């Protein structure tokens, strides 16, 4: 549903986190992860809405492409393809899988793909049937395949449910930490298409080398590698593995053989204990620069391997030296970054962020989770007369005093990164405002000019600002005074370095469970003129899981002080005009309950308290607010759903701003989420809305008088709307925090 329990990232930044979390999970269970070009637009209640948003044929094409490329024998759907209540995106995934099951084998469907792949018809497609914690009815179960996924694998030393719990726990931004269950766990699989199976998912499918004509010698060599394997000397299998690899190299082109060839190469590397690395002295470089890369190869076995050469792009260094057991062989290779090299970021971000599907011009990239490494080192070995080619990414390595040795991809960065400090700037009147831009040098001795590109009628003072850096990663913040024009518009910050125009920033996302990610968003922002009246000035903001509402309030003149629950306990709240809680505060900071009485006393003595949404996860609803209410899963996911005014004369709709239906235009992603569905009679609902075909949800704003003050609980998505600069959301939220003014 687009929530982030880790921090404030939304949109494409959250998409990047989720992508890396999936890859982190796959690093545990060793499955291969594919992606479509679909961009997560938040929670959806129907597959119809989902497919309408993405464009069914767009995403069906991607699913067909992945099937043709990966060539699965069996497809399993985690979710049903019918219209039972689930997340609409989940249902759509199953619906598309069932349709793609047939389309992948039809040469008339998406024929443009056949330039790269062949048609493919899997044997069967099944739904991993679930009824939450209840097994299917006996008559239904009789027609399904049963599989105990709780079985123990002695080679792994784990059951598959333990493995599943470990991998699912990598989905930390969703709060999907899971137990590692042990014991039986019977799953049922219902046939959705293709040949029936009686006892096994792979019934009737040859899983041996016999399915590939002429592969007998390859199969025999691999069997020999297994027979020769010794746990205390894995290198004993190398002669047979290398023989098998050589046979695969000479085999006519075949997708199955290509896959197995790469697996065999990995097995050779593992059995030899072969460590290969290509390490850059810094984490990044700019276009046109040269960097020396330290490469190293270590053979940790007695099997004779000769390193012939190491190359990065066209720069090759010859070695022609045998590798002695556990003795590093190092070579320095010069990396020349092309002058036209783009910044290194996921390919699916290159087309911008205001899209429904990613713009991908290279068909071969579709399905991949991320771009290939910016640069790779190619090691050529000779082993038993066979040439072996290993490729490793160029990495940057550093040591953290707590986390230890860390690696991240070496990336190309612009000569200077141009980061807008305020991507959305609100102008409630004609008073000039300062707009700041942070510049970050990508290399030493960088200089140039920075300017703002503004809409017609807007002006900046000065028109441009010179900058100069002596060191890489040096930063400087510059400020323009901007006088607004009559209408809202977009703006950008543009650096000029030796005639090259640069309009990209640099954002680093770094969490402990995923590799650090650098992305380079366009240096574009919004300038919003709005009719806004404010009342009061000082806001105490108790931080929840993370959002940008405080910065949004500061944009329109409020003085916002951030607090943790512990800090609130020690602070006199009487000077503040309102107390606002960040999103999911009661989910993420259990200690907030210890200061609930203090907060209620603040309200009772005349204060205004506005509580933003909380989920049901880890939530004790008892004692929240002055009167009881019950938070539910009710949400309104269609952002332009009509809003009904329930209490036209209510002060929240009239002071300091007159709220009309127009104030609900232009909202993004959703109206709100986790609305209360029951509340004490002391609460008054103010507005209501609903998704198409559903009943009204009126718990999005609950207003209650308590003593001399006002308490408001609101599930509307202010954390999305305010940072996006939605004028009506600003006007209504200001009314909420001004309830006692």
pLDDT tens for each residue of 103-114? 999 999 999 999
Tell me what the mean pLDDT of segment 495-518 comes to: 96
- pLDDT for 11 beyond 90: no
pLDDT of residue 5: 83
pLDDT of residue 82: 80
Find all residues with CB under 8 Å of 232, minimum gap 6, and list them: none
Per-residue pLDDT tens digits for 526-563: 999 999 999 999 999 999 999 999 999 999 999 999 99
Residue 387: predicted pLDDT: 98
Q: What is the pLDDT of residue 3?
A: 75
Helix (H, G, I), strand (E, B) or coil at 578: strand
Lowest mean pLDDT among 138-152, 412-426, 464-478: 138-152
Let me know if domain 275-337+375-412 sits in CATH 2.60.40.
Answer: yes
Residue 664, pLDDT above cutoff 60: yes
What interhelical angle do 238-250 and 255-272 show, nearest 10?
150
Percent above pLDDT 90 for the chain: 89
Q: What does the pLDDT read at residue 97?
A: 97
Degrees, nearest 5: CA angle 21-25-27: 115
Q: Which among 542, 544, 539 has a CA at the least distance from the CA of 554?
A: 539
The arithmetic mean of pLDDT across residues 384-400, rounded, is 97
- Of residues 80, 79, 85, 92, the one with CA closest to residue 41: 92
In this prediction, residue 292 carries a pLDDT of 98
Backbone angles phi, psi at 86, to 5 degrees: -145, -175
Q: Is the peptide bond before 462 cis (omega within 30 degrees of 0)?
A: yes
Banded model confidence at residue 438, pLDDT cuts 50, 70, 90: very high
The two beta strands, 124-129 and 74-77, are parallel
Is the predicted pLDDT of residue 376 greater than 70, yes or no? yes
493, containing H or E segment: strand 489-497
Cα separation, 91 vs 528, in Å, equals 38
Mean of all residue pLDDT scores within the chain: 95
> Average of pLDDT values for 515-529?
95
Q: What value does the mean pLDDT take over residues 170-175?
A: 91
The stretches of 478-519 forming alpha helices (DSSP H) are: none
Q: What is the pLDDT of residue 231?
A: 94
- What is 516-569 written as a DSSP string? -EEE--BSEEEEEE--------EEEEE--S--SHHHHHHHTT-EEEEE-HHHHH
Region 245-266 average pLDDT: 96
% of the chain residues with pLDDT over 70:
99
Write the CB contacts of 70 (distance below 8 Å, at least 6 apart in sequence).
32, 34
Find all residues with CB under 8 Å of 110, minimum gap 6, and list them. 61, 64, 65, 103
Instruction: Give pLDDT, residue 340.
Output: 96
Instruction: Count the alpha carbons within 13 Å of 527 in the hemisphere toward its beta carbon.
Output: 27
Specify the 3-state DSSP secondary structure of 424.
strand
Render pLDDT for 456-473 as a digit per residue (tens, 0 to 9). Answer: 999 999 999 999 999 999
CATH 3.40.50.720 for domain 532-737, yes or no, is no
Cα 36–Cα 42–Cα 43 angle in degrees, nearest 5: 110
Q: How confident is the model at residue 133 (pLDDT cuts 50, 70, 90)?
A: low
Q: Is residue 729's pLDDT more than 80? A: yes
Query: Comparing 37-46, 245-254, 582-591, which segment has the lowest mean pLDDT?
Result: 37-46
DSSP label at residue 438: E
Q: What is the mean pLDDT of residues 207-220?
A: 96
pLDDT at 2: 62
Cis-peptide into 656, omega within 30 deg: yes
Name the DSSP class of 537. -
Judge whether residue 739 has pLDDT over 70.
yes
Rounded (5°) CA angle 616-621-624? 125
Alpha-carbon separation of residue 423 from 433, 543, 552, 665, 669 (angstroms) = 14, 21, 11, 21, 18
Please state, in angstroms and rounded to a whole number, the distance separating the CA atoms of residues 589 and 619. 10
The Cα 729–Cα 700 span in angstroms is 13
CA 70/CA 62 separation, integer angstroms: 12
Residue 44 — pLDDT band, cuts 50, 70, 90?
confident
Which CA distances in Å does 450 have to 24, 479, 522, 542?
39, 10, 15, 37
State how far the Cα of 291 lies from the Cα of 284, in Å rounded to an integer.
10
What is the model's pLDDT at position 251? Answer: 96
- CB atoms < 10 A from the CB of 141, how many? 15
Q: What is the predicted pLDDT for the residue at 24?
A: 97
Contact 670, 569 (CB under 8 A): no
The CATH superfamily label for domain 416-528 reads Immunoglobulins (2.60.40.10)
Q: What average pLDDT does this structure show over 234-262?
A: 96
Q: How far is CA 472 from CA 286, 335, 442, 507, in A?
A: 10, 18, 5, 16
pLDDT of residue 83: 72
Q: Evaluate whether 480 touches 434 at the Cβ level (below 8 Å).
A: yes
Average the pLDDT over 76-101 and give the result.
88
- The Cα 84–Cα 88 span in angstroms is 10
pLDDT of residue 1: 54
pLDDT at 586 over 70: yes
Q: Where are the chain's structural domains?
A: 11-208, 211-272, 275-337+375-412, 416-528, 532-737
- β-strand 416-420 against 433-441: which pairing, if any? antiparallel
Domains 11-208 and 532-737 share a fold: yes
Residue 353 pLDDT exceeds 80: no
Residue 76 has pLDDT above 60, yes or no: yes
CB atoms inside a 10 Å sphere around CB 295: 24
Residue 287, pLDDT above cutoff 70: yes
Query: Residue 352's pLDDT band (boundaries 50, 70, 90)?
Result: low
The architecture in CATH of the region 11-208 reads 3-Layer(aba) Sandwich (3.40)
């Amino acid at each position: 549903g687009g929530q982030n329990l880790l921090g404030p990232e939304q949109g494409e930044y959250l998409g990047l986190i989720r992508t890396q979390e999936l890859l982190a999970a796959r690093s545990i269970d060793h499955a291969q992860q594919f992606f479509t070009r679909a961009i997560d637009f938040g929670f959806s209640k129907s597959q119809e809405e989902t497919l309408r948003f993405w464009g069914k044929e767009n995403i069906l094409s991607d699913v067909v492409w992945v099937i043709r490329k990966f060539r699965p024998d069996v497809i399993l759907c985690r979710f049903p393809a019918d219209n039972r209540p689930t997340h609409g995106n989940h249902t759509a995934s199953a619906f598309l899988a069932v349709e793609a099951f047939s389309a992948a084998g039809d040469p008339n469907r998406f024929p443009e793909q056949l330039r790269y792949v062949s048609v493919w018809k899997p044997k069967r497609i099944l739904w991993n049937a679930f009824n939450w914690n209840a097994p299917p009815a006996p008559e239904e179960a009789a027609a399904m395949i049963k599989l105990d996924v709780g079985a123990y694998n002695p080679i792994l030393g784990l059951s598959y449910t333990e493995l599943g719990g470990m991998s699912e726990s990598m989905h930390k931004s969703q709060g999907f930490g899971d137990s590692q269950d042990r014991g039986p766990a019977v799953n049922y699989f219902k046939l959705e298409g293709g040949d029936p199976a009686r006892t096994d998912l792979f019934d009737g499918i040859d899983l041996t080398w016999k399915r590939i004509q002429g592969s007998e010698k390859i199969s025999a060599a691999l069997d020999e590698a297994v027979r020769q394997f010794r746990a205390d000397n894995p290198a004993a299998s190398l002669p047979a593995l290398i023989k098998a690899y050589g046979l695969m190299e000479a085999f006519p082109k075949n997708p199955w053989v290509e896959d197995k060839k790469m697996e065999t190469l990995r097995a050779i590397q593992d059995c030899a204990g072969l460590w290969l690395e290509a390490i850059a002295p810094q984490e990044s470089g700019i276009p046109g620069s040269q960097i020396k890369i330290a490469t190293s190869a270590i053979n940790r076995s007695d099997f004779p391997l000769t390193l012939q050469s190491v190359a990065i792009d066209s720069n090759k260094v010859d070695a022609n030296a045998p590798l002695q057991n556990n003795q590093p062989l190092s070579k320095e290779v010069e990396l020349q970054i092309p002058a036209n090299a783009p910044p290194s970021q996921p390919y699916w971000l290159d087309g911008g962020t205001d899209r429904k599907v990613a713009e991908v011009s290279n068909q071969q990239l579709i399905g991949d989770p991320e771009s290939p490494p910016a640069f790779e080192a190619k090691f050529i070995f000779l082993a038993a007369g066979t040439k072996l080619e290993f490729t490793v990414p160029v990495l940057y390595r550093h040591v953290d005093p707590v986390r230890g040795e860390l690696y991240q991809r070496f990336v190309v960065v612009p000569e200077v990164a141009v980061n807008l400090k305020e991507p959305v700037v609100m102008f409630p009147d004609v008073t000039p405002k300062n707009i700041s831009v942070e510049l970050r040098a990508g290399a030493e001795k960088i200089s140039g000019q920075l300017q703002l590109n503004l809409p017609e009628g807007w002006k900046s003072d000065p028109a441009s600002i010179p900058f100069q850096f002596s060191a890489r990663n040096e930063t400087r913040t510059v400020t323009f005074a901007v006088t607004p024009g009559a209408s809202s518009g977009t703006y950008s910050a543009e650096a000029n370095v030796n005639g090259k125009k640069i309009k990209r920033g640099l954002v680093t996302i770094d969490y402990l469970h995923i590799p650090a990610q650098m992305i380079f968003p366009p240096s574009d922002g919004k300038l919003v003129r709005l009719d806004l009246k404010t009342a009061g000035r000082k806001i105490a903001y108790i931080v929840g899981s993370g959002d940008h509402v405080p910065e949004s309030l500061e944009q329109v003149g409020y003085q916002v002080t951030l607090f943790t629950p512990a800090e609130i306990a020690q602070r006199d709240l009487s000077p503040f005009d309102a107390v606002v809680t960040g999103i999911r505060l009661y989910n993420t900071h259990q200690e907030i309950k210890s200061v609930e009485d203090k907060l209620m006393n603040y309200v009772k003595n005349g204060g205004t308290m506005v509580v933003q949404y909380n989920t049901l996860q880890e939530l004790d609803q008892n004692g929240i607010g002055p009167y009881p209410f019950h938070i539910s899963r009710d949400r309104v996911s269609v952002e332009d759903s009509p809003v009904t005014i329930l209490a036209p004369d209510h002060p929240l709709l009239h002071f300091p701003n007159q709220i009309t239906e127009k104030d609900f235009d232009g909202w993004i992603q959703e109206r709100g989420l986790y609305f209360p569905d029951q509340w004490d009679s002391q609460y008054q609902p103010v507005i209501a809305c609903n998704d198409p075909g559903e009943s009204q949800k009126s718990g999005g704003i609950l207003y209650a008088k308590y003593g001399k003050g006002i308490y408001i609980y609101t599930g509307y998505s202010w954390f999305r709307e305010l940072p996006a600069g939605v004028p009506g959301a600003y006007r209504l939220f200001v009314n909420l925090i001004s309830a006692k003014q």
